[in-house]
């Protein structure tokens, strides 16, 4: 992965949720992101866009510390496209400082955190984030 990568994080904050808690969930996964809030008809949308791989170091360490690299690798490979990786994470699990991959719609009642990483070599990024453990 190179510094030309762009990481985009977005999630809906429902009217029943605390925006501060959702911001905490994102920070627990990625550290200090420059998050912008935009209002929507059913709450607000938090978005962040950062260039470079440094923002993924905390996430990478969580995958290792939670001992879920193999499961993460499968989820990341499933979301691999020609020039990007797209995956979703559970907000509630992120709030307590852990990683749980989820489907974009339906699996999490509060919705998920959608992450899109645009890069030249998605497979190489997956190898860096979640190397094989066997």
pLDDT digits (tens, 9 = 90+) for 36-56: 999 988 889 999 999 998 899
Average pLDDT on 121-128 reads 96
How is 15-33 classified by DSSP, letter by letter?
A: TTS-HHHHHHHHHHHHSS-
Closest CA to 111 of 92, 96, 98, 97: 92
Q: What is the pTM of this model?
A: 0.92
Average pLDDT on 83-106 reads 91
Dihedral (Cα; 113, 24, 68, 7), 10-degree rounding: 50
Sign, CA dihedral 31-37-40-44, equals positive
Give the DSSP letter of residue 80: B
pLDDT band at 31 (very low <50, low <70, confident <90, very high): very high
Position 104 pLDDT exceeds 80? no
Closest CA to 26 of 128, 115, 107: 115
Q: Give me the domains of the chain, ranges plus CATH numbers.
A: 6-129 (3.30.1440.10)
């Amino acid at each position: 992965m190179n510094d030309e990568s762009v990481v985009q994080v977005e999630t809906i904050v429902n009217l029943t949720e605390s925006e501060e808690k959702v911001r905490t969930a994102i920070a627990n996964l990625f550290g200090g992101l420059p998050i912008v809030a935009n209002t929507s008809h059913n709450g607000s949308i938090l978005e962040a866009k950062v260039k470079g791989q440094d923002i993924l170091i905390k996430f990478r360490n969580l995958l290792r510390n939670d001992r879920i690299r193999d499961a993460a690798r499968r989820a990341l490979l499933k979301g691999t496209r020609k020039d990007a990786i797209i995956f979703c994470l559970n907000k509630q699990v992120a709030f307590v400082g852990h990683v749980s991959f989820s489907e974009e719609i339906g699996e999490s009642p509060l919705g998920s955190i959608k992450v899109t990483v645009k890069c030249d070599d998605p497979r190489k990024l997956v190898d860096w984030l979640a190397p094989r453990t066997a």
